[in-house]
Structure 1
Amino acid sequence: MPIDPKRIALGWPNYIDEATLTGGRWLPTLPLTHLQDARTAVVAKSASLAPEDTQYWITLPKRRRVHALCLYAHNLSSTATIRARVYRDTAGQDLIYDTGRVNAWPITYGLDDVLWGDDNFWNRRLSEDDRQSYTPRAIVAFDDRFIASAVHVEIHDPANLDGAVTLGRALLVDVWQPNYNVNFGIKHGYNSGTEVKTAKDQNRTRYARRITPKRTVTFDLGFLNESEAFLRLHRLQRTEDIVGEILYIYSTDPTPENNARNMVCHQTDLDPLTHSFVANFENGMSLLEIL
């Protein structure tokens, strides 16, 4: 089934690190295998913008359940598209799903953000002069949860002003949604990290060392059954700890508001499960964005 846009979704584990990456044409000094480096500043760079150069295969060592692909820390332009084809076999002969071309950037602006006469007035998509100020993250959600051995990714970005595609990280994940959505009281915010020092002059002049803020979200999941509590969240804590990547999807609806909330993140705390009442459990989560 497709991911329900009315409930949050959590994607993990990331299978990219165990996969074999092949295809396309990537610079020898910035190879495709850099997608398997968790440091997003370590990028892969294509040799050109030709479609045959900007495609690649993700081949898994064994069949895995996959439900979403995310390209992260990329330089894709506002008109770029991504296509993912999912295969049951490693040879790429048994196709089970094709996303078709989907936009790398979702709708980014609200109606009050664009002016009549702007090139993007009708589609409200990201303008090139604003692109650097947004977290470069492209989420491609599949229409179902597939058992796959390989995924073929095609990137089409002829308008890229850099003359090549760069990718800092990729996530290929399974996705879980709770039977009941998060409790009311969910909090989305920012962790600043900016440091401010005050001089000992008469004006107490402030000097700031600005650091890019990271998004945060904290929420409580209630009315969990025993399977959700121990075979999902308890297992998530064990396997991902406070360092493993999690794809947080507030909603798959491609709205500017959801674009502001969806992110790649990790847990900051491991809250214990609470057996709140008969056959029901609850758990709190605190997530911090990975940049």
Structure 2
Amino acid sequence: MANVLLAHPNVADGGALSGGSWQVALNNLMDRRLSRVARSTTAAKADTQFVLDLGQSRLVSVIAVVRHNLSTAAKWRLKMANDPSFASPVYDNAVLVPPDGSASLQMDFVAASYLLWDPDWQLAWPTLFPPSALEWEDDNFWTGSITEEARREYPSLLLVVLPKPTAGRYIKVEVDDEANPDGYVEFGRVFVGRAWQPQYNAKWGASLGWETDTTVQRALSGTPYFDRKSGRRVTRFELGFLSRDEALGGVFELQRQAGVDREVLLIWDKDDAINLLRQSYLGRLRQLNPITRAFVGNHSNPFEIEELT
């Protein structure tokens, strides 16, 4: 299990977007309102790609595309480079599949640019259910992914956690979803930033749950009527074993910069592939809790992070 990751600030907003063909503006990816989507003119590969120029080389830990309509058959690829041609990328999330069918390897162009295997793109909807959670008759029994029907209401996220902070200026996102039933691809937000990770993970007792603003009214007969609203995730946890440097250089600075109004990307456990999408989301600090000097040489701080919807 990997320790929790908190990413802030989002440096994508200082960059410039280009590429693809969009019937609803690509620059909507820089609007915090997730309902202001960027929508491609068609679902063709050439129309659904885009490039983000950060303006200068920046050290990046995580990259995310928040809220999309990609189908369960969709694949995607992300590259980062310091040249706009992407001839020598510093990162590529494609997976290499050796010709002999052995275990796939994470592509690292810096160390393994000589490899000649064709890269395979990442699934937009990876495995979300273990076999024990499904019945033999379920449509998604063999893939473990969600069904095409369910994905329309499921929290969607394209997420890359780089193996280590990597400096790059240009980021390219490509999508292979030409059979998308909507006939187009849309995205809500792009997030690029550094992530802070404590040396010791959150204490036991952390929680993840749903909150909703759905209201209920009852008729005189007692029949309930609902005004349904989409739910949002809320994660509560405490970092109880912080060093002074982590407490002041990490938590204190995160609170100062993010406040309760700015975006924080939460990645609970990057090594939990099945639950990565469930436990990771773009949110905000709901409140700024004071740092406590718990005992000699140790600090603690509770977090409450609310999903942005």
Give the alignment's TM-score, normalised by structure 2: 0.86
1:129 paired to 2:125: no
Hey, what does 1:285 align to over in structure 2? 303
Between the aligned partners of 2:296 and 2:180, the Cα distance in structure 1 is 56
Aligned to 1:12: 8
**Residue type at the aligned position of 2:190:** A
Deviation per residue, 1:125-183 (Å, 9 max, x gap): 12101111211212122222101111111111123111111111111121121100001
Deviation for aligned residue 1:253:
3.2
% of aligned pairs identical?
32
**Structure 1: segments with no counterpart, 5+ residues:** none
Assess, with a 3 A threshold, how the Cα gap between structure 1 residues 225 and 90 changes in structure 2: closer, same or farther.
farther
Q: Does 1:253 align with 2:271?
A: yes
Give the Cα separation in 2 of the matches to 1:175 and 1:159.
35
Give the alignment partner of residue 142 of structure 1, picking from 145, 162, 178.
162
1:50 maps to 44
Superposed CA RMSD in Å reads 1.8
Equivalent residues, number: 283
Report the alpha carbon displacement of residue 206 of structure 1 after superposing the two structures with TM.
Answer: 2.7
CA distance in 2, matches of 1:91, 1:111: 42
After superposition, the C-alpha distances for 1:105-129 in whole angstroms (9 at most, x for unaligned) are 2222243543324442122112101
- State yes or no: 1:180 paired with 2:200: yes
User: Counterpart of 1:49 in 2: which secondary structure?
Assistant: coil
Could you tell me how far apart the structure 1 residues matched to 2:194 and 2:19 are? 23
AA aligned opposite 1:36: M
C-alpha separation between the residues in 1 aligned to 2:223 and 2:147? 36
1:25 maps to 21
Distance 1:243 1:35 in 2: 18
Residue matched to 2:33: 39
Per-residue CA distance 1:223-264 (angstroms, 9 max, x = gap): 111221122211111111112111111112354444322221
Alignment check: 8 A CA contact 2:79 2:86 kept: no
Task: Look up the match of 2:109.
Answer: none
Partner of 1:190: 210
Contact 2:261/2:285 (CA < 8 Å) preserved in 1?
yes
Match for residue 61 of structure 1? 55
CA deviation after TM superposition for structure 1 residue 89, in Å: 4.2
Unaligned runs of 5+ residues in structure 2 are: 95-120
User: What SS does the corresponding residue of 2:8 show, helix, strand or coil?
Assistant: strand
Structure 1 position 94, deviation (Å): 4.3
The TM-score, its normalising length taken from structure 1, stands at 0.91
Tell me which amino acid in the other structure corresponds to 1:15: V
The whole-number CA distance in structure 1 between the counterparts of 2:283 and 2:236 is 12
Return the match for 1:160 from 177, 180, 191: 180
Looking at structure 2, the residues matched to 88 and 275 of structure 1 have their Cα atoms a distance apart, in angstroms, of: 43
